[in-house]
Structure 1
Amino acid sequence: MSAFVPYEPLNAPKPFADDVWIVDGPEIRMDYGPTSLPFPTRMTVVRLASGELWVHSPIAPDPALFERVEALGRVRYLVAPNSLHYWYMADWLERYPEVTSHAVPGLEQAKRRFRIDRTLTAGERMAWEDEIAWVLVPGTAVTEAVFFVRRAGVAVLTDLIENFEPARVRKTWLRWLIKLGRADGTTPLDMRATYLPRRKKVARAVGEILEWPVEKVVMAHGRPYERDGAAELRRALRWAARG
């Protein structure tokens, strides 16, 4: 039995906002110190004005998933949005070799190498930036790029906020770990530890994020916020905004 009650259906694009879909994928195990922990997976797909697709944090490859995504448009951009969410980029690049791949700094030495066409470095301008704003939140062990789909009012995060729902966690020990680790609607403590050494830069980045007119928020793990997005961001990121 999986550790989490899944957000079904899996491997199927689900409308989240205008031209924005979320796709919940299979549960995986991620290395965590000397052990590994279960995590649900999720990617976000945005259809740009051109009709092309921008894919954030690609999940495990699946033939039916590829067909469902292709029904939405032509995949044009793939994004590895933080130092942990990159594993399946290689699979998606094999399927779509003509796309432009983007990654946060540091993934050139990732455990599983993949082609990086553009590095998400602060100050660099991306081809899709008129439609999707972005900010780099620099950490020591984990750096994350946070995005804002302007037309849809959707903020797209990865691990900067995790929002696991206790009712969906089947294992008691995991519910306690999520609660103690503050992974239930804010930035988990282990993630905060990687950002605190660079707190001034993080505060500036979070300040930019909080200026966006956000209506909805989607993150890689847990329940998205489908209303009051700006208020949820202010609450969840209050610790970082203080600098």
Structure 2
Amino acid sequence: MFSVETYAPLDQAKPVADNVWIFDGPVIGFQYAGLKLPFPTRMTVVRLSDGKLFVHSPIRLTDELKAAVDALGEVAYLIAPNTIHYAGVPDWQKAYPDAKAFCAPGVIKRAKSVGISVEFDAELADTPEAEWADEIEQVLVRGSYLNEAVFFHTKSKTLILTDLIENFEAPKIKSPIWRFMVRLFGTMDPHGSMPRDMRLTFAGYKDGLRKAVQTMIDWNPDYVVLAHGRCYDSRCVDELRRAFSWVLR
């Protein structure tokens, strides 16, 4: 697998805003065109006003990570936000059997197709679930390959994305071949965006994507969390307009 540096330290809570943290995990291999491509992993945790935790895109669970999360509150909601990010959920369900699990449409079918056994309490939609509706907004982006639920923590103005924007940093990529491929995909910092091959799968879904992007812009976030690469902590609306210029024009 091509070599990529992680966002160390791993398995530790990194504050983004009041009651919002990211946890960086290990690099995983994503199968693509016969290659195993390296992706650093990241999950986001939001503590709701009742102390319950909303865990977005759970990464692989370790004792160190579990202790760090438990120190923040009660794990209540496990979120598989799109049809690629779900593999970590089963281990979290074993560790937190009382937590409810939610997934983007298509996750259950995809998981079964690759032999992963996982069950969910409900599928995510365009409107927030009752469990977090007063504190987290959401919008569902649908495509032929990817369905992704996007979340916005209103109090901290934190937008949580998964694969709709990827923003890899060149210094962390040791392989010149992978560095070239990332540039080719259009996902190299500071010009992170949706991978060009993934954009093609939204050819018949641009109106819905455009509407969802406008919703994200109207939320006017102060911080944008990305699952892969450098997040945005300034000029966030400008970054959204730039990253999605291919669909907004």
TM-score by length of 2: 0.93
Equivalent-residue separation in structure 1 for 2:176 and 2:209 (angstroms): 33
How far 1:11 moved relative to its partner? 0.9
Query: 1:209 is matched with which residue: 212, 216, 231?
Result: 216
- Equivalent residue for 1:186? 193
Aligned length: 242
The residue identity in structure 1 corresponding to 2:132 is: W
Secondary structure at the aligned position of 1:97 is classed as coil
Q: 1:124 to 1:148 in 2, by over 3 A?
A: closer
Secondary structure at the aligned position of 1:197 is classed as coil
Contact preservation (8 Å) 1:104, 1:145: yes
After TM superposition, the structure 1 = structure 2 runs for residues 9-24 of structure 1, keeping only pairs within 5 Å, are 9-24=9-24
The residue identity in structure 1 corresponding to 2:8 is: E
Gaps of 5+ in 2: none
- Equivalent residue for 1:114? 118
How far 1:208 moved relative to its partner? 1.2
The residue identity in structure 2 corresponding to 1:162 is: E
Contact preservation (8 Å) 1:2, 1:27: no
User: What CA deviation, in whole Å up to 9, does each residue of 1:128-157 have, x standing for no partner?
Assistant: 022111111101011111111111111100
Q: 1:69 to 1:123 in 2, by over 3 A?
A: closer
1:165 equivalent in alignment to 2:204: no
Gaps of 5+ in 1: none
Structure 1 residue ranges (4+ consecutive) displaced by more than 6 angstroms after TM superposition: none
How far 1:2 moved relative to its partner? 7.0
Equivalent-residue separation in structure 2 for 1:108 and 1:145 (angstroms): 15
Equivalent-residue separation in structure 1 for 2:130 and 2:42 (angstroms): 23
- Equivalent residue for 1:69? 69
1:141 equivalent in alignment to 2:145: yes
Contact preservation (8 Å) 1:164, 1:223: yes
Equivalent-residue separation in structure 2 for 1:16 and 1:210 (angstroms): 19
Secondary structure at the aligned position of 2:26 is classed as strand
Contact preservation (8 Å) 2:126, 2:138: no
Contact preservation (8 Å) 1:204, 1:241: no
- Equivalent residue for 1:226? 233
Equivalent-residue separation in structure 2 for 1:6 and 1:186 (angstroms): 20
TM-score by length of 1: 0.95
User: What CA deviation, in whole Å up to 9, does each residue of 1:91-138 have, x standing for no partner?
Assistant: 101100101111000112213121211101234644202211111110
User: What CA deviation, in whole Å up to 9, does each residue of 1:6-50 have, x standing for no partner?
Assistant: 211011111111111010001110111322211110000111111
Contact preservation (8 Å) 1:83, 1:107: yes
How far 1:235 moved relative to its partner? 1.3
- Equivalent residue for 2:105? 105
Supply the RMSD in Å over aligned alpha carbons: 1.4
1:92 equivalent in alignment to 2:96: no
How far 1:168 moved relative to its partner? 1.2
Identity %: 43
